[in-house]
Structure 1
Amino acid sequence: MIKKIWDKVMNREVISYLIFGVLTTLVNWVVYAAMVKVHIDYRIATAVAWAVSVLFAFIVNKIFVFQSYNMRPAFVMKEITSFVACRAVSGVMEMVFMIVMVSWIHMDEYISKIAVSVIVVIVNYVFSKLFIFRKSEEKSL
C-alpha cells in the first residue's frame, strides 16, 4: 500500500518540480545577494529577487516540469498571469502563516520557516497542476 502511494507521488513531474524548486530558490538568493552587494536597498533587492525567481520558475515549470509546449502568445499570457497570481497568493499565505506561527503561537522562526516552506511548495504544485498548466485546456485552445 505504501509503495503504491510512493510510486504515485514520486514521479518525473514531482521530482523535477522539487529539483527546479531548489534552483528557483538559488536564483532568488543569488539575485538578492548580488543586489545587496552593490548597495541596493534590501527591500528593492527582495522584490526584484522575487520577480526574477518567479519568472525563472514559470519558464522551467512550463517547459520541464509540466511540459506545456503551447507557445501561442495569448496562451502563454494566460499561463503567466495565472502563475504570478498564484505565487502572489502563496506569498501572502506564507507571510500570514509565519506571523501566526512565530508571533501568535511562539514557534521557533526557523522551524516555522521550514514548515511553512513545505506547505507553500505543496500549494504551489497544486496551483500549477490544477489551475495553470492543465493539459486538457492546452489541447482545447
Structure 2
Amino acid sequence: MKKFFTKEILMYLIFGVLTTVVSWGTYTVFVNICNMSVFWANLISWVCAVTFAYITNKLWVFDSKSWEVKFVVKEAVSFFASRGVTGVIEIVCVPLLVKTSFDNLFYNLFDKMGVGMKVLFTDGIYSKIVVSFIIVILNYVFSKLIVFKNKKVEN
C-alpha cells in the first residue's frame, strides 16, 4: 500500500491551509471593512486566493520549475481554468447556503456559548468554510491530474 501522506500531499495541505487563510482573511476584510456583499467579497477573495495558490503550487507543491514563457502561460491558463470551475462552485454554493440559513445554526450555537468574536459572526463565513473543504479536494485532483501532470524540470 502506498504511503498517503507524501511530501507532495503534505505541501499541498500546508499551502492549501495558507490559501484558505488568504481566501477567508480577504473575505472577512471585504465584508466587515469594505462593506461588500457576500457575492463580491467572495469573488474577489477567490481571485486573491487563486493567485497565491498558483505561485505556491507551482514552486513548492508540484515542483514545476520551468519558466519558459510558453510553458508557464499554458500551465497558468490550465491552473486558472481548473480553479475557475471550482471557483464557480464556490461562488454559487456559498450564497446558496447563506440563503438557506445554514450559518444561523452556528451563529445560534456561538451566541448561546457566549462567544463574541465578530469574525465568527461574519455573514456567510460558515457556508464558506464548508464549501472550502470540498473545493480543496477538487483543486488537488485537478492540479495533480490536469495542470501539473506534465511538469518540466529545469536542467
TM-score (norm 2): 0.66
Question: Comparing 34-43 with 70-79, which one deviates more in the overlay?
Answer: 34-43
Which 5+ residue runs of structure 2 have no aligned equivalent?
A: 107-125
Q: Which residue does 2:73 correspond to in 1?
A: 77
Paired residues, number: 127
Q: Distance in 2 between matches of 1:32 and 1:127?
A: 24
What amino acid is aligned across from residue 86 of structure 1 in structure 2?
S
Alpha-carbon offset, residue 71 of structure 1? 1.0
SS at match of 1:78: helix
Q: Which residue does 1:62 correspond to in 2?
A: 58
Change (3 A) 1:134 1:13: same
Aligned identity (percent) is: 41
What amino acid is aligned across from residue 85 of structure 1 in structure 2?
A
Q: Which residue does 1:18 correspond to in 2?
A: 13
Measured on the aligned residues, the alpha-carbon RMSD in Å equals 3.1
Which of residues 136, 142, 147 in structure 2 aligns to 1:121? Answer: 136
Change (3 A) 1:56 1:70: same
Q: Distance in 2 between matches of 1:52 and 1:118?
A: 17
Pair 1:138 & 2:152 matched:
yes
Pair 1:51 & 2:47 matched:
yes
Change (3 A) 1:13 1:74: same
Q: Which residue does 2:119 correspond to in 1?
A: none
Alpha-carbon offset, residue 83 of structure 1? 0.8
Change (3 A) 1:122 1:37: closer
Which 5+ residue runs of structure 1 have no aligned equivalent?
A: none
The answer as to whether partners of 2:75 and 2:147 remain within 8 angstroms in 1 is: yes
What amino acid is aligned across from residue 138 of structure 1 in structure 2?
K
